[in-house]
Structure 1
Amino acid sequence: MVPNRAPGAALAPGPVVDTLHGRRVADPHRWLETPDSPETARWLDERRREYEREAAAWPLREHLAERIRSLVATDLWSVPAHRPGRAFATVRPAGSEHPRLVVLEGPAPPRTVYDPAAEDPTGRTTLDAWEPGPGGDMVAVQTSLGGVERGILRVLSTATGDPCGPQVPGVRYSHVAWAPEGDPSFFYVRRDGERGVRGVWLRRVRDGAETLVHACTAPGTVPGVRVLGGRWLLVTESHGTGHRTDLWLADLSGGRTARPAPRPVQVGEEGETEARLGPDGLLYLRTTLGAPWRRICAVSPEEPGVEHWTEVVAQESGATLDAFAVLARSPGEGAGAPALFVSRTRLGISEASVHDARTGALLHPVDLPGEGMVSTPETAPDGSVYLAYADVAAQQRILRLPPGERRPGPWPPGAPDAPPSPAVERTVLWCGSEDGTRVPVTVFGAAGAGAPDPSGPAPTILHAYGGFGRPRQFGFSATVLAWLLAGGRYAVAHVRGGGDAGRAWHLAGSGRAKPRAVEDLVASADALVAAGLCTRDRLCLSGGSAGGLLVLAAATARPDLCGAVIASAPLADMARFERMGLGRMWTREFGTVADPDDFAALMSYSPYHRALEAAARTPRPDFPDVLLTGFHGDTRTDAAHPRKMCAALLAAARDGARPPVLLRYERDVGHGPRAVGRAVGLAADAHAFAAHRTGLSPR
């Protein structure tokens, strides 16, 4: 067995074979794991030239880019965070590359507190997170450079934008929870490089002095921190994304900020839980514990343990309870218990309602603008709920729901009503997976002129994610809308591994059961063809990250399944995913190579190894055309995955006039947010590839 090299050590091209659980596992392209070696640089340059030659011939490339640019040319706001006399939010004005952080004070126009484009005109700096202090005179901002999602945390003056103390390097999307008393200070999450301890730290703004208040001892967990109601410190540990949460609560009153004594809320239970504090002083918890579709429970923070929880809003079979907010009742609704704003998702479409926080009784439904997605509901001091709403045909906008009302209105003040949206039709197709499970597939098509024949085949993109228990929500995508308006269909397979049918649906497609998610996607593609909505050569699978793994696994399992595949920043090498990016954090979702049964399941669908096996067969299978995207700054899935997958597919390809696999590779960006211009370019190129391979031509 060839030993593993140290990170960053160059490995020349050549045969590498590991022996894992008695099985010889070839890895001839391991040298591509070294991102900046001369060999990798030369190989990437060859892929760049191939990609540019091919992309130049795609007839819809400029058309789609222009359509997408026009669809995103609107002001895009975030849900505001309220502080005394102020509201903080981000806004990306139409035509801007990045959102900026602004503060609204009374009737005055929004004032910019931090603008990443002003700090870095190159556009490589992104604003990753922000949190205003309890009085609103300071705000913590997190920024990163080049897409690495690991950057700088600093505290700025709301009045001037100047720094208020030393900055913190190397922070990755940490919660910032402001302490309620004493010198301005905050809790946040980081890893101590010297001791290797990942945990929650209390940091004083003025001089940067720090105290560790909670050490995360379990491997592969992600800590989090919140301060609720200015008094209660909530510490969380996530054990595998979407699988299990541990929570502790500590009283910070009476000068105990630096010496909190956390008590268990939920520890060691197989449930995912989120907590908020109500105006009545009770802790409200949205949880999968005892409720695979999620329910809301209430408990006193004085005795927060699971044994004291009382169910308030029961789960509803068929609809995942996604988010909630606790709000004061309006005078017309009577005094006493607060109310709960609740949003659920049913096959990608949000429903919202307001309930009594004591009995769970429905007070009234919320009239949403259409069939779309509700996200990030937040409560304001006046009892209003602010929420983001978007649907397939309408860009995200912020809505305000005053206490007691059913129909939310636009925010910020003076925001125009939403412009007319193109008509989009939605249908649901059900298919039978290999084990007989019925899997839903949502299909979208534009209505009116240019729409595909409802009863005939059309170029179709079939998207899937199927990971980490995330239910698919149908918000706005300029790329999807541009595809629909060009005459194509867009379908989403609600495969197991996602959260579209509750926690049980997630667990049925994770770990050793992950091959079920692949089977569900294959069945979804077959069903679209059988229903006459598309043909094999006019079908393109599409997925990103965990979804990229899924579409590559399906296409390498069934080379005849479709005509093309788009895999964006995918996982691909499942024998080594734990060694790359954040893979070590995902063993609850995929399994671990260290376990022989997990290893067998991983290798049964690992796209990289299926492509290597195909390269050794005679004759070689005729795989679909594949577009892979990779981002050099990707610290989540790691760009080694698409690099190695591209090399394996090229080795497995039959001789032809053009490369059947292309790699679109970018530097100075990562897995997360990027400048609008670069996002438009990526989306337009990917869908121009799909249009070219499936024969889409706008009418």
Structure 2
Amino acid sequence: MRLDCNEPPLKIRNPASHIVKYPATLKCDQTDFLHGTRVADPYRWLEGDVREHADVAKWVQEQNELSDSYLQGIAERETIANRLRALWNYPRYGLPVKKGGRYFFEYNTGLLNQNQIHVQDDLHSDPVLLLDPNTLSEDGTIAVASWYPSPDGRYLAVLLQDGGTDWRMARILDTRCGEFLDDTLHWLKFTGLAWHPAGRGFYYSRYPAPGSSETFQSLNTNHALYFHAVGEPQEQDRCIYSRPDHPDWGYAAEVSDDERYLLITVWKGTDSRFQLVLQDLKDPSSQPTMLVEGFEHDFSLAGSRGSELFFRTTFKAPRGRLIAIDPNRPDRSEWREVIAETSNVLTAVSCVADKLVVQYMQDARSLVSIHELNGGFVSNIELPGIGSAVGFAGDAEATETFYSYSSFATPATVFRFDVGSRRSSVFKRPSVDFDSDDYVVQQRFVTSADGTQVPMFVAHRKDTELDGANPTVLYGYGGFNIAVTPEFSIARLVWMEMGGVWAVANIRGGGEYGEDWHKAGTGLQKQNVFDDFIAAAEALIDLKYTSPDKLAVFGGSNGGLLVGAVTNQRPELFAAAMPAVGVMDMLRFHHFTAGRFWVDDYGSPDDPEMFPVLLRYSPYHNLRPGTDYPAVLITTADTDDRVVPAHSFKYAAALQAAQAGDKPILIRVETRAGHGAGTPTDKVIAEYADRWGFLLRVLDFRLPEQFVTADGDSATAGL
């Protein structure tokens, strides 16, 4: 029987815990019958928006008070926070974008909540502050999500993000005076901005305005592509392309580097399968016309030369290849192969100075090479080591491009690459107060349940002894064709300074080995993802890095689902789990905001074939009362409209009720924050101080003597 959860619910108390006493959590008699199966959902009432439902707000407040009391009671937490602040306080630079002869780039002095945008006239002139988002709000929660200089550099269009939400507001800055124009565009989501070649306006995508109570929870449908003319109100923006007959379709616009074509990429989910629509900007009578029909393959515009457009694609190449399409001869039989598929994954291609810069991924690390326009190999770009290189944007007139390189023990350095001489030089190098030579990064391969070899990176201090006693964090994602590659993080560095081992498992579901690797971790095969992660955990134990009482698992979003699922399946294997902004209810995820897009990876609960598969691993539905679960710190945010916080709320309530052991089950709910992007620096530092402090206590280890605070005091003081 289905009852309204607003009716007076039953009160229950959770099993007694030797460490914490949980607040009383309400239950309701909510039952659904799905495909003939009775499914209880006693915490359905926690799906209410915390801003609209007082009972949900009260529950969140009580849970936060409990978590705050526990975390603030960890004496070493402030020591960890001080070290995080000290190391975080270093200048950081983003990749420059050259427009109108000037270089635009992001910059952070160290502890600014949001990155500033600077501009400099040439490579040797002093940078000038153009926009400081930290002045846009008192609490630092308004961020520049992305920014786009006009072709002549006169304007800077920015997408502003308030409180971490996926909703964006577009503004235009006049770079001559540093002031915003009156132009203000609302209800943009899942969009970039593409300037018209003349610089008189830009293309963008938006949804209809939601109802006042639906902003952060309602499904997103009826995306449409618009053109905004500089100086005009949004009400006069012209709709360029929409398909009301397909309300689930979305649109992304870009202008070819020869400025002739507007390319509209049509998508309908998270799967990289697109339709392409083209409009000739040189022909005033031209209308958007279908170039590639059918959601079958990935297509990413790499550049244009002569009459052809270059696309990186998975068409007849699951690891990617480069093809050329002539819009005047769009039939597939006319498509020309430029660079064939290889054993490595082709991740990106750009056309710079009549050369092709080709980016590959080999075993989850970067390889970059230069090719002629006909595809002929010229040379490799030498990278500093095992790490990740990103960037390499450019156009036909450019003679240079920029890229950023980082690894687990190497902060992101921005390089300038001269295409003619094929030489790299440092554009901006950060200085961080640590010695990278003190750390070691290795890549190992582990054997999953079905014999698949799964790569895993392991990083730690060189003086770490492999005695099976090291506190270890195993991180994973495993979904949506997203590859987890080596990158630098102050938070991870501090964890390793604390004596911890950091491990990353490149499990199936990601994009590390192309489309086949991705598909092997989706839908009916999702259990492969969990098996791979469990195999990585067991390998860390077998290799004497750690032991079950010192091993923690960590992941966010789809990675939060991963952590919840493996914790349910193998609770004895882990001492702690930290699911962040996770997808925890696999039977109702498609009812909220962007959740409907995820059926590409997960399958739909409405599908009778997928329903039992989803029910079998759904973290919320597979908690077994009376089980001794690991210590769990769940994190989410009240403005997360990507994975609504109800997932974490319901999971936390059910896990607290099911826990039979003495390990704490805590949920930390951040305010004025979303899914992660745009979170202010001070909130990020506080969250990691809580995470590492939590692990220090539940994994039962001490900070090493060499771990120092920003003041240089012994980190063991107060123990």
TM-score above 0.5, yes or no: yes
Asked if the contact 1:273/1:285 (under 8 Å) is kept, the reply is: yes
Asked if the contact 2:5/2:28 (under 8 Å) is kept, the reply is: no
Partner of 2:542: 530
Residue 323 and residue 157 in structure 1: after superposition, are their counterparts in 2 closer, same or farther (change >3 A)? Answer: same
Match of 1:138 among 130, 149, 155: 155
Match of 1:18 among 20, 23, 32: 32
1:222 partnered with 2:247: no
CA distance in 2, matches of 1:255, 1:472: 44
| Deviations 1:494-518 (CA, angstroms, capped at 9, x unpaired) | 1111111211010010122112211
Residue 3 and residue 315 in structure 1: after superposition, are their counterparts in 2 closer, same or farther (change >3 A)? Answer: farther
Residue 539 and residue 303 in structure 1: after superposition, are their counterparts in 2 closer, same or farther (change >3 A)? Answer: same
Q: What secondary structure, in the 3-state scheme, does the structure 1 residue paired with 2:399 have? A: coil
Match of 1:288 among 311, 314, 327: 314
Match of 1:75 among 91, 100, 117: 91
1:694 partnered with 2:699: yes
Q: What secondary structure, in the 3-state scheme, does the structure 2 residue paired with 1:623 have? A: coil
Matches within 5 A, 1:187-206: 187-193=203-209, 197-206=222-231
Match of 2:507 among 495, 501, 508: 495
Between stretches 112-121 and 470-479, larger displacement belongs to 112-121
CA distance in 2, matches of 1:128, 1:173: 11
Residue 301 and residue 79 in structure 1: after superposition, are their counterparts in 2 closer, same or farther (change >3 A)? Answer: farther
Asked if the contact 1:17/1:24 (under 8 Å) is kept, the reply is: yes
Q: Which amino acid aligns with 1:663?
A: I
| Deviations 1:77-98 (CA, angstroms, capped at 9, x unpaired) | 2212211222222212223221
CA distance in 2, matches of 1:590, 1:546: 10
Q: Which amino acid aligns with 1:347?
A: D
1:631 deviation in Å?
0.4
Partner of 2:269: 240
TM-score after normalising by structure 1: 0.91
Matches within 5 A, 1:339-378: 339-358=355-374, 360-378=375-393
CA distance in 2, matches of 1:130, 1:304: 33
Asked if the contact 1:592/1:599 (under 8 Å) is kept, the reply is: yes
Match of 2:651 among 645, 651, 658: 645
Match of 1:297 among 301, 317, 323: 323
Between stretches 633-642 and 153-162, larger displacement belongs to 153-162
Partner of 1:670: 674
1:320 partnered with 2:332: no
Matches within 5 A, 1:113-192: 113-181=130-198, 184-192=200-208
Asked if the contact 2:482/2:511 (under 8 Å) is kept, the reply is: yes
Partner of 1:260: 287
Asked if the contact 1:79/1:378 (under 8 Å) is kept, the reply is: no
Q: What secondary structure, in the 3-state scheme, does the structure 2 residue paired with 1:555 have? A: helix
Q: Which amino acid aligns with 1:379?
A: G
1:2 partnered with 2:11: no
Q: Which amino acid aligns with 2:389?
A: V
1:437 deviation in Å?
2.1
Partner of 2:14: none
Match of 1:624 among 607, 611, 630: 630
| Deviations 1:106-135 (CA, angstroms, capped at 9, x unpaired) | 354222332211222321211111111121
CA distance in 1, matches of 2:49, 2:295: 40
| Deviations 1:201-258 (CA, angstroms, capped at 9, x unpaired) | 11222223222111145354431000112221000022322431221222110334xx
Asked if the contact 1:188/1:200 (under 8 Å) is kept, the reply is: yes
Asked if the contact 1:285/1:297 (under 8 Å) is kept, the reply is: yes
Identity of aligned residues (%): 30
Asked if the contact 1:459/1:696 (under 8 Å) is kept, the reply is: yes
CA distance in 2, matches of 1:196, 1:690: 41
| Deviations 1:474-510 (CA, angstroms, capped at 9, x unpaired) | 1111111111122211111111111112110100101
Matches within 5 A, 1:183-582: 184-193=200-209, 197-208=222-233, 209-216=236-243, 217-228=245-256, 229-256=258-285, 260-264=287-291, 266-278=292-304, 280=306, 282-317=308-343, 319-328=344-353, 338-358=354-374, 360-379=375-394, 381-411=397-427, 421-447=436-462, 451-454=463-466, 456-582=468-594
1:165 deviation in Å?
4.2
Residue 365 and residue 60 in structure 1: after superposition, are their counterparts in 2 closer, same or farther (change >3 A)? Answer: farther
| Deviations 1:652-673 (CA, angstroms, capped at 9, x unpaired) | 01164xx621111111011122
Asked if the contact 1:347/1:473 (under 8 Å) is kept, the reply is: no
CA distance in 2, matches of 1:5, 1:180: 54
1:28 partnered with 2:4: no
1:5 deviation in Å?
8.3
Q: What secondary structure, in the 3-state scheme, does the structure 1 residue paired with 2:250 have? A: strand
1:417 deviation in Å?
8.0
CA distance in 2, matches of 1:3, 1:223: 39
1:436 deviation in Å?
2.6
Runs (5+) with no aligned partner, structure 2? 7-24, 211-219, 705-719
Between stretches 543-552 and 191-200, larger displacement belongs to 191-200
Q: Which amino acid aligns with 2:278?
A: L
1:280 deviation in Å?
4.7
1:640 deviation in Å?
0.7
Asked if the contact 2:5/2:45 (under 8 Å) is kept, the reply is: no
Moved over 4 A (4+): 3-6, 193-196, 415-420
Q: Select the structure with the greater relative contact order (CA < 8 A; seq sep ≥ 6).
A: 2
Asked if the contact 1:511/1:598 (under 8 Å) is kept, the reply is: yes
Residue 482 and residue 281 in structure 1: after superposition, are their counterparts in 2 closer, same or farther (change >3 A)? Answer: farther
Q: Which amino acid aligns with 1:520?
A: D
1:46 partnered with 2:75: no
Q: Which amino acid aligns with 2:147?
A: W
Q: Which amino acid aligns with 1:326?
A: C
Q: What secondary structure, in the 3-state scheme, does the structure 1 residue paired with 2:572 have? A: coil
CA distance in 1, matches of 2:99, 2:36: 61
Q: Which amino acid aligns with 1:235?
A: I
Q: What secondary structure, in the 3-state scheme, does the structure 1 residue paired with 2:585 have? A: coil
| Deviations 1:415-467 (CA, angstroms, capped at 9, x unpaired) | 678885343222333333222322222222221xxx32145441111111001
Q: What secondary structure, in the 3-state scheme, does the structure 1 residue paired with 2:674 have? A: coil
| Deviations 1:544-581 (CA, angstroms, capped at 9, x unpaired) | 00001001100101111211101111110111111124
Residue 145 and residue 622 in structure 1: after superposition, are their counterparts in 2 closer, same or farther (change >3 A)? Answer: same
CA distance in 1, matches of 2:306, 2:487: 33
1:674 deviation in Å?
1.1
Q: What secondary structure, in the 3-state scheme, does the structure 2 residue paired with 1:582 have? A: helix
Asked if the contact 2:161/2:678 (under 8 Å) is kept, the reply is: no
CA distance in 1, matches of 2:472, 2:661: 27
Q: What secondary structure, in the 3-state scheme, does the structure 1 residue paired with 2:544 have? A: coil
Q: What secondary structure, in the 3-state scheme, does the structure 2 residue paired with 1:388 have? A: strand
| Deviations 1:50-95 (CA, angstroms, capped at 9, x unpaired) | 2122212335422332232233222222212211222222212223
CA distance in 2, matches of 1:32, 1:263: 44
Q: Which amino acid aligns with 1:668?
A: R
CA-based RMSD: 2.3
CA distance in 2, matches of 1:418, 1:571: 35
> How many residues end up aligned between the 2 structures?
667
1:302 deviation in Å?
3.3
Residue 646 and residue 399 in structure 1: after superposition, are their counterparts in 2 closer, same or farther (change >3 A)? Answer: same
Q: What secondary structure, in the 3-state scheme, does the structure 1 residue paired with 2:639 have? A: coil
Q: Which amino acid aligns with 1:504?
A: D
Asked if the contact 2:223/2:247 (under 8 Å) is kept, the reply is: no
CA distance in 2, matches of 1:546, 1:374: 24
Asked if the contact 1:541/1:566 (under 8 Å) is kept, the reply is: yes
